[in-house]
Structure 1
Amino acid sequence: MEISVLPETLAVCRLRASDRIPSWALELHEGFVSITRTPDELSIVCPQDAVPPDTQVEEDWRALVVPGPIPFEATGVLSALATPLADAGIPIFAISTYDTDYVLVREQNLERALHVLHADPERQLITSGSPYEPVIGFSRAVRAGSRVLVSGTGPVMPDGGCPESTAAQARRCWEIVLAALAEAGASASDVVRTRTLLTPTADAEGAMTAHGEVFSDVRPASTMVVIHALLDPRWTVEVEAEAQLDA
């Protein structure tokens, strides 16, 4: 399905059902504005920079839109967007108009949502949530048919920190790799090749031990090389993996 993204960052506002529609909403004559009144609330969706600071609001939404007009007799249009996003664990806020449907996703989920909705059934893009993925233009892993390729993976902790020892860093790298493989429907037993990049100050024995903890029974083809440096000066190790699934 063809979809496009509205340029504005939107806010979803809640006012009391008895409130008048505020002037800051009525005066928005350009861009996206949706105003809905029910017996329980007055809901306004509009550009975020128009909302005054004392408003109850959920911020940082982006709108995906299906080109319209969509005939009223058409079925399954909203479901075609909502279902794959739900399967990917992406929350949505849906709005329908006379002409078409809008699906709002959090700005932090926008790139992932587009990947999900544009995905080739033979090509699956896996994200780890890194802020660099949309900036650089890469995926943590890509499943192309029966192949799964995991990008170079550094020892990044959820809080942005980094373990101190090479062995602990390598274990964290493989933890991230295994999570990406699992999302692609693969596991360590499917891995056919690994690569380990070490800095001159790395503890090679520690990296080897961590590799063996994951792959001692799998025995993939493997390469370990020493390079000048890695992207983050705290890192002493970075890894890659390739897996092959049954066709």
Structure 2
Amino acid sequence: MKIKKIDYDFSVCKVTDFSLTNFESEYCFIGKTDEECSLVCITADVPDNIINRDDGWKAFRIEGILDFSLIGILSGISGLLAENSIGIFAVSTYNTDYILVKEKDYKKAINVLSQAGYDLG
């Protein structure tokens, strides 16, 4: 399976609302519940209306369109990283999954995934 490294720094944020979010950015993930509005974006695109933010994330994309019938792909990758003491923040789109790791763990994650047979492009 191919996993693509994404060459941006990311931030995970809690925002008051999405009015200042740059939806034209190459990467922008939002989540909204009755309790909060969350945003994962390129660090350079963090809006001014943040409540909290956590910088220093790097991202990987699982390449290809993942059919909804496929089971355990994200679990396998996240389990492998967890076994190596690497925490993740995962987000999904209709087509695929994205895995973010803290910048301090990025090289270690690349090594762990490569050694497990993943093709990191």
TM range (shorter): 0.7 to 0.9
Equivalent residue, structure 2, for 1:50: 45
Instruction: Measure the CA separation in 2 of the matches of 1:110 and 1:5.
Output: 10
Equivalent residue, structure 1, for 2:26: 31
Percent identity, aligned pairs only, is 32
Q: What TM-score results when the alignment is normalised by the length of structure 1?
A: 0.44
Equivalent residue, structure 2, for 1:70: 66
Residue 52 (structure 1) shift: 4.3
Q: Is the 8 A contact 2:90 2:97 kept in 1?
A: yes
Q: How does 1:94-173 map to 2 (within 5 A)?
A: 94-119=90-115
Equivalent residue, structure 1, for 2:55: 59
Count of aligned pairs between the two proteins: 116
Alignment-mate amino acid for residue 21 of structure 1: F
Residue 30 (structure 1) shift: 2.9
**SS at structure 2 position matched to 1:68:** coil
Instruction: Measure the CA separation in 2 of the matches of 1:11 and 1:96.
Output: 16
**SS at structure 1 position matched to 2:44:** helix
Q: Which runs of 4+ in 1 moved over 6 A?
A: none
Name the Cα RMSD after superposition. 1.7
The structure with more helix, counted as a fraction of residues: 1
Equivalent residue, structure 1, for 2:9: 9
Residue 53 (structure 1) shift: 6.0
Q: Higher relative contact order at CA 8 Å, sep ≥6: structure 1 or structure 2?
A: 2
Residue 68 (structure 1) shift: 2.0
Matched, 1:81 2:74: no
Q: What TM-score results when the alignment is normalised by the length of structure 2?
A: 0.88
**SS at structure 2 position matched to 1:7:** strand
